[in-house]
Amino acid sequence: MKKILVKSRISEFVVGLVFGLGLIVSGMTDPGKVLGFLDLAGLWDPSLAFVMGGAIAVGLFAFAFAKKRTTSFLGGAMHLPTSRDIDRRLVVGSLVFGAGWGLAGFCPGPAIVSAGAGQPKAIVFVLAMLAGMWLFEIAEGRMRRTPNQQTGAL
Amino acid sequence: MLIDWTHFTPWSALAGGVLLGLASALFVLLNGRILGVSGIVGGLLRPRAGDTGWRLAFVLGMLVAPGVYWLFAGATAPRIDAGWSAVMAAGLLVGVGTRYGSGCTSGHGVCGLSRLSPRSLVATLAFMGAGFLTVFLVRHVLGCCHTTHGAWT
């Protein structure tokens, strides 16, 4: 049991590292590049469509395979999302996220990686993001009537 | 539509994207988890026994990534044009929005679309659309070009 735990921690760390490197190589950690993609009416930089394309091309196979499994390769449970609701929460939340993304050109992953590089504005962004997530927790704590309604997986 | 050929980098974008896909693949196959950054980080604010270590290990990996990249490839030069107040407002919006929407670019955009999840497709269209609209408003309607690099002049 202990051995699985150590292997899992190493795996999670390595995955975080590979993901962070992917964000840097792809250009996602450059807000100028992200905004260049989001600026359809200006000089448009289509690069980020290639990022999504490359990621999903690999992901399609992995998730098709993962769906058939009941345990992970390291022996743990599969924690796949169960929620299928397309509700106001999902849409409004995503719209608010997109507005913030378009404002500074940072989404959560690249902001954390850039904070790791010591970028002062990325550090401030991450702190503000944590504050936003904390506000959500407070609001949810008050609203929560039925426990375990959150999948928390995404 | 005008293409910004000087900044267009299809090969590095594709290579980086493949790395993102690879990381997501490893995570779901080895650890049985969805690689969704906002969910992983947000869960740290609701700590439960046995549910914190994996999140911290993943975030630590992300934090050391720039150092590892620097060792092998040198420094990067990100263009951060937004001012301090815009950065703070953006962070708040991203924090609240990703938690209410149960995901961000990684969880919905990469993993969700790879899983062919209709829910994630709706979320991705919503945040992409809002992103396009926000940049349009900021750059072309309000005209407050907080850019110093002339990326779209």
Reported as a single tens digit per residue, the pLDDT across B108-146 is 999 999 999 999 999 999 999 999 999 999 999 988 654
Q: Find, in chain A, the residue whose alpha carbon is nearest to that of B7.
A: A45
> At which of A78, A94, A129 does a domain end?
A78
Does A123 contact chain B (CB < 8 Å)? no
Other beta carbons within 10 Å of B13: 26
Using the 8-state DSSP alphabet, how is residue B105 labeled? Answer: I
Reported as a single tens digit per residue, the pLDDT across B4-41 is 999 999 999 999 999 999 999 999 999 999 999 999 99
Whether A153 is covered by a domain: the verdict is no
- Whether A75 and A82 have beta carbons less than 8 Å apart is answered as no
- Whether A92 and A86 have beta carbons less than 8 Å apart is answered as no
* Beta partners for residue A43, in sequence order: B2
B14 burial type by CB count under 10 A (0-12 exposed, 13-18 middle, 19+ buried):
buried
Of B13, B90, B98, the CB nearest to A48: B13
- pLDDT for A143 equals 77
CA distance B32 to B27: 6
How much is the CA Rg of chain A, to the nearest whole Å? 18
Question: Does B150 have pLDDT greater than 50?
Answer: no
Number of domains in chain A: 2
Whether A151 is covered by a domain: the verdict is no
Contact A97 B97 (CB under 8 A): yes
Q: Which residue shows structure tokens 């955009």?
A: B109
Does A149 contact chain B (CB < 8 Å)? no
Does A30 contact chain B (CB < 8 Å)? yes
Residue ranges for chain A with pLDDT beneath 70: 1, 145-154
Complex-level ipTM = 0.93
Question: Does B151 have pLDDT greater than 70?
Answer: no
> At which of A43, A78, A113 does a domain end?
A78
A46 & A91 share domain: no
Between positions 34 and 53 of B, the ones with CB within 8 A of A are 34-39, 41-43, 45-46, 53
A1 & A63 share domain: yes
- Please state the pTM of the whole predicted model: 0.92
Reported as a single tens digit per residue, the pLDDT across A29-45 is 999 999 999 999 999 99
Range of the domain at A34: 1-78
